[in-house]
Chain A
Amino acid sequence: MLKGWKEIPIGGMILEPGNSVNFKTGDWRAMKPVIDKNKCIKCLMCWTFCPEPAIIRHEDNSVDINYDFCKGCGICAKVCPRKAITMVPEGE
């Protein structure tokens, strides 16, 4: 998957725009947000405040978390008015 020195542009140049999506930051996470869908009222506070943004908003305003990019900062859990998001240690 990772390329060798002959296969990449020189000097760290990135030749096409928008390729930060290839840089999965999810493995930085120590704590993982978990949504209790029964408590969620679809207010989208988490979606608004997520700095990444790693909250996936569906048609009906229900939400999921994109764990490929969620860094586990915990802002979503903090702003949720119904405490529907809990932070649990990775691996549990």
Chain B
Amino acid sequence: MGKVLGLMGNEAVAYAVKQSNVDVIAAYPITPQTIIVERLSEFVANGELDAAFVPVESEHSALSCCVGASLAGARVFTASASQGIALMFEITFIASSMRCPIVMAIVNRAFSAPINIHCSHDDTVALRDASWVHLISESVQEAYDNAIQAFKIAEDSRVLLPTSISLDGFILSHCLERIEVLDNKVVSDFLPPRKAEYKLDPEKPITFGPLALQDYYFEFKRQQEEAMRNALSVVKEVGKKYGEISGRTYGTVKKFMTDDADVVLVCMGTVAGTARVVARSLRKEGKKVGVLSIRLFRPFPAQDVVEALRNAKAVAVIDRSSAPGCIGGPLFEDICTALYDLPEKPLTYNIIAGLGGRDITPEHIKQIYNTGYKYIKEGKVLEKVLWVGVR
């Protein structure tokens, strides 16, 4: 079953997209673009992938091109990061509102200025309200696995929403990892060619993207909300089915020693691995700590989060992006909202860390757990938002 390869995150995503038999790839090639689309253009050029590769003049055009191709019934992929995502912003809402199941890889990179290109989650969290399904990867393996599942989720008739897969810039995108890839045939069986129920077809003319004013706009937004609610179960369903072909089953969150934990650290992306290493060593010292890694950022799996955190005494949430002027980072606000209805709530505090690719070290994690114990001892949160690792 499958084979083992040494691939960088970028290459792993490109490999998965190739195996997913996409029809159209549209991308803008210049920074902050990554090697993902460069590899795909090579696959198309050397005949390994039978797809149209459209090199466009901006990310705004890249996603616009994807919208058109998706409405024509194609399986569509694009990738971008930071400023590219910012430039796409207008079209991200159009893509979801027109119900285009586009898959996009977001290599998480910090928003300018200053120009940075290293890891922050700014780009993904900026799209939190854009009605996209957002999957987060912790490793190169997960980036590969998420890419294949993303098409299945996006194209499900109960969902029909664009889906992003995020991977931490450089930490995953440019790091070589041992990964297991599936056989082409296994992926093709898992992902048969897309059959769009509605598409641009001269034989059966229909209209996409008309005007809807006070009379109908509201109803279309309600439909999107329903699709998002459906996505929650579709993500779980697909994660389970993917487990059957790969041996790697996916849910919405990943729990690590949370059941009896006093302090649970909640995070997204690669920092979860560091946190688990630290949690394991603190457990040896008798400290009951755990880690909750969020794999599905949108739709937000509130129920699963509450189930995992309900017994904790303190919950630390790491945001790898800052939201100046907000109560805390975007993930923190989600977690607090999810926990609000619990009769007995854990103490909650927010950590802003790792901005612009700054390492989040085991020492930082230890400090975060210790803060939790301090708050538990005091019986209250002394400081709600802590910037860890900043000078």
Interface residues of A (CB under 8 A from B): 2-5, 8-17
B85-144 contacts to A, CB under 8 A, are 97-99
B207 CB-CB contact with A under 8 Å = yes
**B residues within 8 A CB of A16?**
206
**A residues within 8 A CB of B208?**
11-13
Q: A2-B215, A5-B219, A5-B223 are in contact. Are A12 and B98 (CB under 8 A)?
A: yes
Contact between chains at B206 and A10 (CB < 8 Å): no
**A residues within 8 A CB of B198?**
9, 13, 15
CA distance A4 to B222 in the complex (A): 10
Name A5's contact: one of B98, B207, B215, B226 (CB within 8 Å): B226
The proximity string for B residues 190-233 relative to A, scoring 1 for CB distances below 8 Å and 0 otherwise, is 00000000100000011111101001100110110011000000
Q: In this complex, what residue of A is CB-closest to B205?
A: A17
CA distance A12 to B219 in the complex (A): 9
CA distance A3 to B215 in the complex (A): 9
CA distance A12 to B216 in the complex (A): 8
CA distance A11 to B212 in the complex (A): 10
Contact between chains at A10 and B223 (CB < 8 Å): yes
**B residues within 8 A CB of A15?**
198, 206
Interface residues of B (CB under 8 A from A): 97-99, 160, 198, 205-210, 212, 215-216, 219-220, 222-223, 226-227
Q: In this complex, what residue of A is CB-closest to B215?
A: A2
**B residues within 8 A CB of A11?**
97-99, 160, 208, 220, 223
Q: In this complex, what residue of B is CB-closest to A18?
A: B205
Name A10's contact: one of B99, B207, B209, B212 (CB within 8 Å): B99
Name B207's contact: one of A4, A8, A13 (CB within 8 Å): A13
> In this complex, which of B99, B205, B209, B219 has the most chain A Cβ atoms within 10 angstroms of its Cβ?
B219
Contact between chains at B160 and A10 (CB < 8 Å): yes
> In this complex, which of A2, A11, A17 has the most chain B Cβ atoms within 10 angstroms of its Cβ?
A11
Inter-chain contact total with CB atoms closer than 8 Å: 48
The 26 sampled A-B contact pairs (Cβ below 8 Å) are A2-B215, A2-B216, A5-B220, A5-B223, A5-B226, A8-B216, A8-B223, A9-B198, A10-B223, A10-B227, A11-B99, A11-B160, A11-B208, A11-B220, A12-B97, A12-B98, A12-B208, A12-B209, A12-B212, A12-B216, A13-B99, A13-B198, A13-B206, A14-B206, A14-B207, A17-B207
- Excluding A2-B215, A5-B222, A10-B227, 14 further A-B contacts by CB distance (< 8 Å) are A2-B216, A3-B219, A5-B223, A5-B226, A8-B216, A8-B220, A9-B198, A10-B99, A10-B160, A10-B223, A11-B98, A11-B99, A11-B160, A15-B206
**A residues within 8 A CB of B216?**
2, 8, 12
CA distance A5 to B219 in the complex (A): 5
Q: In this complex, what residue of B is CB-closest to A2?
A: B215
Shortest Cβ distance from residue A76 to the other chain B in the assembled complex, whole angstroms? 25
CA distance A26 to B177 in the complex (A): 65
Name A8's contact: one of B97, B99, B219 (CB within 8 Å): B219
Shortest Cβ distance from residue B49 to the other chain A in the assembled complex, whole angstroms? 28
Task: Please provide the 9 A-B residue pairs with the shortest distance between their CB atoms, ordered closest to farther.
Answer: A11-B99, A14-B207, A5-B219, A5-B222, A17-B205, A11-B98, A15-B206, A5-B223, A10-B99
CA distance A14 to B207 in the complex (A): 5
**B residues within 8 A CB of A13?**
99, 198, 206-208
Contact between chains at B206 and A12 (CB < 8 Å): no
Q: In this complex, what residue of B is CB-closest to A8?
A: B219
CA distance A5 to B209 in the complex (A): 16
Shortest Cβ distance from residue A7 to the other chain B in the assembled complex, whole angstroms? 9
**B residues within 8 A CB of A10?**
99, 160, 220, 223, 227
Q: In this complex, what residue of A is CB-closest to B207?
A: A14
Contact between chains at B220 and A12 (CB < 8 Å): yes
CA distance A16 to B210 in the complex (A): 13
Q: In this complex, what residue of B is CB-closest to A7?
A: B219
Contact between chains at A12 and B210 (CB < 8 Å): yes
**B residues within 8 A CB of A12?**
97-98, 208-210, 212, 216, 220
Contact between chains at A4 and B219 (CB < 8 Å): yes
**B residues within 8 A CB of A2?**
215-216
Shortest Cβ distance from residue A31 to the other chain B in the assembled complex, whole angstroms? 22
